[in-house]
Amino acid sequence: MRPFRLVVLTLLLLFPACAAAGPGDSGGSGGSADHRLDWWREARFGLFIHWGLYSIPAGRWGDETGHAEWIRTTARIPVDVYDRFLDQFNPVEFDADAWVRAAKEAGMKYIVITTKHHDGFALFDSKVSDFDVMATPFRRDIMKELAEACARHGLKIGWYHSIMDWHHPDYLPRRGWEKESRPAAGADFDRYVEYLRAQVTELLTNYGPIGVMWFDGEWESTWNHEYGQALYDLCRGLQPNVIVNNRVDVGRGGMAGMSTREGTAGDFGTPEQEIPPTGLPGVDWETCMTMNRHWGYNAADHDYKSVTDLVRKLCDIASKGGNFLLNIGPTARGTFPEESLDRLRGIGEWMKVNGEAIYGTSASPFRELPWGRCTMKRRGDETSLYLLVFAWPADGRLVVPGLGNEVLRARLLSDQASNPELRVETVGPDRIVRLPKSPANPHASVVELDVAGAPVVYDAPEIFAPSELLVNPIEVRLEARSPELEIRYTLDGSDPGADSPVAAGPVRIADSAVLKARSFHRGRPVSGVVRREFRRVVPRPATADPGGLQPGLEMRVYQGDWNALPDWSQLQPSRTGVAEGPGLPSGPTQEHVGRVFDGWLRVPADALYTLALSSDDGARLWLDGDLLIDHDGLHSTSTRTAHAALAAGLHKVRVEWFNKTGGATLELSVARDGGEMRPVPAGWWVHGGDTDQKRNTTSAPPGARPPASRQRPRSGSPARRR
C-alpha cells in the first residue's frame, strides 16, 4: 500500500457526523436498507494477507533490510531485474486450508488477500497477463485454492486489487527514478484501465461469491472519479452483493481513510494503521493494521504487537462501530511467520470465550470509560452492554457512569458454565458492578450487563458548530448520545432549567452569545452543563479593485528536490503562466516540482468562510498578507482548514505548493457560513491589474505576517507503506 513520510490524520469534517463513505452509506451500526453489508457488520474481524514476489527478498536489498511489498520502488529495482523473482516463486509449503483454519480459529470471519499488489504480479491465473502465478514454477491458482478453502470452512473471501501497477507498460505515471530507463512514450492509460477491468472481471467471475473488493493505489493523478465510479459499477454489476471499499474512487483523506468528498463511490472507509479516536458515527469503516511494522514479509522485523495489544485494539475498534482487518505477510515458502501464528492463537483463545462481545455488536453508548471499552446488542426490549475491562478495579467496584436504565442482570462471560450473577448497586446516577478480586482474563475481561430498553446514558450534550465566529446567522447542532434524553439550552449565559427551551432542531445564533446546554431525563437534569461562546465579528475589508483584472491566477513553476517549502526568492522559475486556480494539471504526476499561485480571491458576499487546503506534499495559503493555513512538509494527501471573516470583494491570495516524490495533490475548497464544502469556483480567482504580485518573488507576500510557530513533520515508519 501507499508509502508516506508524515502521518497527518486530518479528517475534513465540519460536523463530526462525517461525510458518507459512498453509495453503501449505511450507518455503522447496521441501519441501512442495503443489507449487503450485514454479514460484514456481524463479522467485525478479518484477516488481511499481503503476499507476492516481494516475499522472496524478504525485505532485504543489498545492505538494507527495511523493505517489504514496496521493494521494487523503495530499492529502485528495474523491471527486468524484478522479473527474475518469477523463476524463484515456488511456495511449496502453501496450504490454503491451513491458512483458513488459522484465521477461523483466531475468530476471524473473512479473509482479504492481495490478488495483485502495486508491483503488478497476480497471484491468480489471469488470461490477460503473463505476469502471474502461472508463469512461476508453482503454477497453481492460489486464489482458486483459497476461495475453495474459505467455502469449506465457512469464511468469506475478499480480494485486494491494486489500481496502481508498476509493471504494466500502459500504467502512468512512471516512478520518478525510472522515467529515463523506462520512458512513458506510447503508454495509454485508458488501455491500462481496460486491462484493470479485465482482471477485476476475472476475479468476480471465476471464483464464486466474493465478499469484498478491496482496492488500493488510487491516489495518483491519472485515476479520477469517473474511472472509480465505473469500476465500482462493474463490481456491483458482476456480483450485486459484493461490498467495495472507498479506495475504488478518489477523495480519500490520507491515512485517516475516509472520503472527504460527497458523491464518491465505495461502501466503507479504510483507516490505515489508526483507530479513529471517537469513532465515525453513521459510517461503515474498517481499520487495517499490521502485526509488526510491515505489510509484506520482512525477515528482520520481529517488532510484533502483543496479544494483549491486539485484543484491546479489536475491542477498541468494535466499541466504535468498526471492523478490524489484521494483516499477515506470509513467507516465500507459503507459511505464516510463527510470531503471527502465536498472535492468532492468543486472540483465538480470547475470542472463544468473549467473541459474543465482538460479533454483531454496535458502538458504545458511552463517550468515555476510564477502565476500558463497551459494545452492545439490542435484543427486543433489552440491551446487552458488554463491558470490556482493561484496568481491573483494585477495590472490586466497576463504575458504570450515568446509566439511566433498570439493570436486569450482570455476569462475567468467562463464567458461563456456572453463570453466577454479579451484584449491581446504584449510587446516584451511576451503577456499580461488584467484581471478583482478580480479572477473568489478562487481555480484557468482559462483563455482560443486561438492561431494560435502549441504553440511556446521562452524558452532557455535544455542541457542533462550524466555528465560534460568525458574520451571518449560523445553525448550531446539539446532540445527546441517548435519544431518550431531552436537551434544554440558553443563550444568555444562565444555566438551563426545566423551563428553558428544548433543542428540537438546530439552534439559530444571529449575534454574540453564550450557549449553554444540559441533558434532561423525564423532566429532571441528569448531566452537567456544557457551554460555548460565539462571537460576531466584522469581516476583513476587501481591497479596492485596481482594474484590468483577468480570470485565473499568475503561476510560477519551479524544479527542485525539497523536504519543505523553499525560499522562492532564491530560485528561478522554469515556467510561468496563468492557471484557472490553485491546482495541478491532469496527466502524469510530476515529482521534484513546486508551484506558486498569486492573485486575488473575489468573494461574493460578507460571510465567514471556511477554507480547506488539501495537499501532498507541503502547501501554504496566504490571505491578505496573513498565513492562514500552514500545511508544509512531507506528507501524504491530507487536509487542513481555517476560518476567515471576509467582506465581499477582492482579497489578495497566494498558494504555495511542492511535491517531492510519489503522489501529488493540491486542492482548495470553501464553505460559506458553515455550509457544504465545495471546490473554490473558478470565477472567484482573478489576477493582473496594478499588483505588486507581478514583481514579487519572495517566499511570502509583501507585508506577510508569518505564524508564531512552524510545525515540523515527523518521519513515517515502514508500517505506513501499504
CA distance 527 to 281: 22
Three state DSSP letters for 517-581 = EEEEECCEECCCCEEEEEEECCCECCECCCCCEEECEEEEEEECCCCCCCCHHHCCCCEEEEECC
Percent of the chain with pLDDT over 90: 80
Q: Are 162 and 106 in contact (CB under 8 A)?
A: no
Positive or negative: CA dihedral 18, 20, 21, 26:
positive
**CA nearest to 282, candidates 32, 11, 12, 10:** 32
Q: Are 59 and 65 in contact (CB under 8 A)?
A: yes
Q: Does pLDDT of 9 surpass 60?
A: no
Cell 510545525 belongs to residue: 711
Write down the pLDDT at residue 255: 58
Q: Are 413 and 353 in contact (CB under 8 A)?
A: yes
Q: Which residues contact 367 (CB under 8 A, 6 or more apart)?
A: 457, 459, 481
Q: Would you call 66 helix, strand, or coil by DSSP?
A: coil
Q: From residue 129, how far is each of 82, 132, 196, 620 by CA, in Å? A: 16, 7, 10, 44
Report helix, strand and coil shares of the chain as percent, to nearest 5.
Answer: 20, 30, 50
Q: Are 647 and 542 in contact (CB under 8 A)?
A: yes
Write down the pLDDT at residue 708: 37
**Which grid cell sits at 77?**
529495482
Radius of gyration of the chain (CA): 28
How many CB atoms are located within 10 Å of the residue 105 CB? 17
**CA nearest to 118, candidates 233, 220, 15, 250:** 220
**Strand order through the sheet with 638-646:** 638-646, 607-616, 665-672, 678-679
Write down the pLDDT at residue 637: 82
Alpha helices (runs of H) in 111-249, residue ranges in sequence order: 142-153, 189-203, 225-238
Write down the pLDDT at residue 176: 82
Q: Which one-letter DSSP state was computed for residue 52?
A: S
Phi, psi of 77 (to 5 degrees): -90, 120
Positive or negative: CA dihedral 342, 347, 353, 359:
negative
Q: Does pLDDT of 710 surpass 60?
A: no
User: 315: part of which helix (H) or strand (E)?
Assistant: helix 307-319
Write down the pLDDT at residue 28: 36
How many CB atoms are located within 10 Å of the residue 360 CB? 16
CA distance 540 to 7: 34
Q: Would you call 118 helix, strand, or coil by DSSP?
A: coil
Q: Does pLDDT of 148 surpass 90?
A: yes
Write down the pLDDT at residue 256: 63
Q: How far, rounded to the nearest angstrom, does the alpha carbon of residue 199 sit from its chain's CA centroid?
A: 26
How many CB atoms are located within 10 Å of the residue 337 CB? 20
Note the residue count of the chain: 722
pLDDT in tens, 175-212: 888 988 999 999 999 999 999 999 999 999 999 999 99
CA distance 235 to 309: 36
Write down the pLDDT at residue 260: 58
Residue by residue, DSSP assigns 338-349 as HHHHHHHHHHHH
Q: From residue 565, how far is each of 64, 579, 616, 713, 722 by CA, in Å? A: 29, 20, 12, 12, 26
Q: What is the mean pLDDT of residues 345-369?
A: 96
Q: Are 413 and 448 in contact (CB under 8 A)?
A: yes
pLDDT in tens, 648-684: 999 999 999 999 987 788 999 999 998 888 999 999 9
CA distance 325 to 300: 23
pLDDT in tens, 292-313: 999 999 999 999 999 999 999 9
Least confident of 318-327, 344-353, 583-592: 583-592
CA distance 377 to 362: 6
Average pLDDT, the chain: 89
Instruction: Give the burial string for 458-491 (b: 16+ CB within 10 Å, else e).
Output: bbbbebbbbbbbbbeebebbbbbbbeebbbbbbb
CA distance 596 to 574: 12
Cell 504580485 belongs to residue: 693
More confident residue, 629 or 712: 629
Domains of the chain: 35-357 (3.20.20.80), 372-452 (2.60.40.1180), 462-536 (2.60.40), 549-720 (2.60.120.1560)
pLDDT in tens, 557-567: 999 999 999 99
Q: Which residues contact 113 (CB under 8 A, 6 or more apart)?
A: 48, 49, 51, 123, 143, 146, 157, 158, 159, 160
Q: Would you call 40 helix, strand, or coil by DSSP?
A: helix
